[in-house]
Structure 1
Amino acid sequence: MTDQQPGRHMAAEIDQQPGIFAALVDRRAEIAEVARAIRDRGPRFVLLAARGSSDHAALYAKYLTEVLLQLPAGLVSPSTTTLYGAQPDLTDVLVVSVSQSGGSPDLLEVTESARARGALTVAVTNTPDSPLNGAAELSVDVGAGVEHAVAATKTYSATLLALYLLVDAVRGGDGRHARDLGELARSTLDNSADAVAEAVRRYRFVDRVLTTARGYSLPSALESALKLAETSYLAARAYSGADLLHGPVAAVDAETAVLAVTSTGKGGEALHDVLDAVHGRGADVLAVGSAAAKVSAALRIPVAETAEEVAPVLEILPVQRLAHGLALARGGDPDSPRGLNKVTRTR
């Protein structure tokens, strides 16, 4: 019977993350070698190519690049290469392709094309022998191990941490803000368990969820919406807090659940006015993060406090647990959502 228990893989993989983080930090020197090669090339611009959850990780890397490296960065639209055949000059450009499987044909084509057009290419994957790794000049292994659940959990968070360690090493950092993430992940999972269980009870029958955040935490809001949609089949939509006030807030009312990711730092501070506005419209706000206690909310899920630049590695953990719990409470199996496969092949 145990072998057939719904959600067993996702639950186990969520719980593996503290150990994965600690092991990845221990491999920082390996990632720093890749960073040294990047520094030696001195890129003038950074492009990030990804799909799905990896696209949210790439957005996190975009924030890191623009803030920590002070370099312009952008997200690639793969179809400009795969469908339209665009061939821009990428001399002195760094192209980072992010893919858990390393098997998506469009990312492979983008990487091969970028390298041929002068870019320095780096693959960040959980599959060291993947075609993507073979196509890129440099590679970073996120080291999360095989992921059996369809919904990405440990591969997503490990990708975030690998990207942080890479960018931090490019700027000459020593990884100090990441050193204790294994221990902090364990305490976050343990200390948020009761609040997550309460959130499952509270939101079991909700149909519509908005997720929101600012700054470094915006990728967490996007990933939260994806996890809730793919495991619990909720109509979930993510907005930057700034964009939410520019129109979508008109759709917020007492029937709306709002999941707000808010951690200590400038992004969390910028979300205060947004949450005051949606709370004032009667929305049921669930605040997740190290600054959750400081905002208007009906329910709060605590997360261990860190430097803002690494907060996304931790703040997604209780949301993964929430998605898992809601899926089970609504009669689903988060290990095997309907209509989804582990590797999506697009062009």
Structure 2
Amino acid sequence: MSEANPGENMRAEIDEQPRIFAELLEATDIAAVASTIAQRKPRFALLAARGSSDHAALYAKYLIEVLLQLPAGLVSPSTTTLYGAQPDLSDVLLLTVSQSGGSPDLIEVTESARRRGATTVAITNTPDSALNAAAELSVHVRAGQELAVAATKTYSATLLALYLLVDAIRGGTGQAAAGLPDLARRALAESTAAVGEAVQRLRSTERLVTTARGYSLATALEAALKLAETSYLPARAYSGADLLHGPVAAIDPATAVLAVSGGGRGGAAMREVLDVVRERGADVRTLGSGPAAEHHIPVPGCAEELAPVLEILPVQQLALELALARGGDPDRPRGLSKVTRTR
């Protein structure tokens, strides 16, 4: 299908997301998993993931540390799979995030952690996957089959599932997310013109930096990945704080900067970053509901901890349209397949 109509699958899957959010908000299994976790009172949380799911895991790390006030860290799977590390994981919560549930290293990490005392939870779009079998508990993100190689609806659905899980662990009902389906429709509709303008400015760029603070850092990381894998555009992502600690020296008028600037504390912290990259002459574009540059892609406002669920939608549109403008087919990025099996 996408051979005749490049990007057709990716476009359709981007447009599905408001409906998927609505269905996920109606799910009841997440509360049951959260109840089990809350009863066990974990002392620490670990997150294991690869690729786009790793960015979702970073988002969950912020949720766990801020909303649950619980220490959290990202797992390096190779410490288990290559080096055979066997730390004591008693009273530890391990969330393994994988849309396919088929990556051998993540399965091995989950199996090993379960043997060593962790409460293991699989967050997947594939309920009959080997990862689900390896974990004690599981959350289905309910995105449906994804045909495009680049993850779109599975990524955003994973973000929402992780929010709902963390919110339920702290005793919440997900009420803050109730308006997301309508806000997602607005985000997709209201960003069209600004995305088109961004495509015209970025189609010939050769160097792109994405940056953000707080929860939105996950969006900056995912934006760099999406643009690299669909448009073959060299892109680097930095925390705004890390960017100012050295890499900003490489920013110049030949550099395009996509700054994710949401509301709340993260957005406020981006003001200094925007001032510095402007001073260095970069072609700066902001995305979000917070402080804006001259060239801006709008996103409807919402609670700061939910902003990444909406911010990623115009990023996906940008990746789709830029890939097409540069002569590619984002449904079939060169050298990539839907499931990457690493060990």
TM-score class normalised by the smaller sequence: over 0.9
Identity %: 72
Question: What is the Cα deviation at residue 298 of structure 1?
Answer: 3.4
Name the structure 2 match of 1:67: 66
Cα pair 2:99 2:124 within 8 Å, conserved = yes
Cα pair 2:100 2:129 within 8 Å, conserved = yes
Whole-Å separation in 2 of the counterparts to 1:245 and 1:119:
37
CA RMSD between the two structures: 0.9
Name the structure 2 match of 1:97: 96
Name the structure 2 match of 1:269: 268
Whole-Å separation in 2 of the counterparts to 1:48 and 1:56:
11
Whole-Å separation in 1 of the counterparts to 2:233 and 2:194:
20
1:106-138 deviation digits (Å, cap 9, x = unpaired): 000000000000000000000000000011000
SS at match of 1:271: helix
SS at match of 2:195: helix
Question: What is the Cα deviation at residue 30 of structure 1?
Answer: 1.8
Of residues 171-180 and 208-217 in structure 1, the stretch that sits farther from structure 2 once superposed is 171-180
Whole-Å separation in 2 of the counterparts to 1:194 and 1:78:
41
Q: Write the letter of the residue equivalent to 1:158.
A: A
Name the structure 1 match of 2:310: 314
Cα pair 1:231 1:323 within 8 Å, conserved = yes
Cα pair 1:217 1:267 within 8 Å, conserved = yes
Runs of at least 5 residues in structure 2 that lack an aligned partner in the other structure: none
Q: Write the letter of the residue equivalent to 1:322.
A: L
Whole-Å separation in 1 of the counterparts to 2:197 and 2:38:
47
Name the structure 1 match of 2:47: 48
Whole-Å separation in 2 of the counterparts to 1:46 and 1:128:
22
Determine whether 1:6 maps to 2:2.
no
Determine whether 1:340 maps to 2:336.
yes
1:63-110 deviation digits (Å, cap 9, x = unpaired): 000000000000000000000000000000000000000000000000
Name the structure 1 match of 2:298: 302
Name the structure 1 match of 2:214: 215
* 1:1-347 to 2 correspondences below 5 Å: 4-27=4-27, 29-291=28-290, 294-295=291-292, 297-347=293-343
Whole-Å separation in 2 of the counterparts to 1:94 and 1:54:
17
Question: What is the Cα deviation at residue 334 of structure 1?
Answer: 0.2
Runs of at least 5 residues in structure 1 that lack an aligned partner in the other structure: none
Structure 1 pair 166–2 and aligned structure 2 pair: CA distance change class (3 A): closer
Question: What is the Cα deviation at residue 3 of structure 1?
Answer: 6.4
Whole-Å separation in 2 of the counterparts to 1:41 and 1:135:
19
1:287-318 deviation digits (Å, cap 9, x = unpaired): 00011xx33x2310000100000000000100
Cα pair 1:284 1:298 within 8 Å, conserved = no
Whole-Å separation in 2 of the counterparts to 1:289 and 1:94:
32
Whole-Å separation in 2 of the counterparts to 1:130 and 1:188:
32
TM-score using structure 2 length: 0.99
Cα pair 2:2 2:331 within 8 Å, conserved = no
Structure 1 pair 39–2 and aligned structure 2 pair: CA distance change class (3 A): closer
Q: Write the letter of the residue equivalent to 1:61.
A: A
Matched residue count: 343
Whole-Å separation in 1 of the counterparts to 2:59 and 2:239:
13
Whole-Å separation in 1 of the counterparts to 2:62 and 2:107:
24
SS at match of 1:4: coil
Whole-Å separation in 2 of the counterparts to 1:287 and 1:119:
40
Q: Write the letter of the residue equivalent to 2:207.
A: R
**4+ runs of 1 displaced by more than 2 Å?**
none
Question: What is the Cα deviation at residue 2 of structure 1?
Answer: 7.7
Structure 1 pair 2–174 and aligned structure 2 pair: CA distance change class (3 A): closer
Whole-Å separation in 1 of the counterparts to 2:83 and 2:212:
34
1:224-268 deviation digits (Å, cap 9, x = unpaired): 000000000011000000000011111101111000001110000
Q: Write the letter of the residue equivalent to 2:10.
A: M
Question: What is the Cα deviation at residue 328 of structure 1?
Answer: 0.3
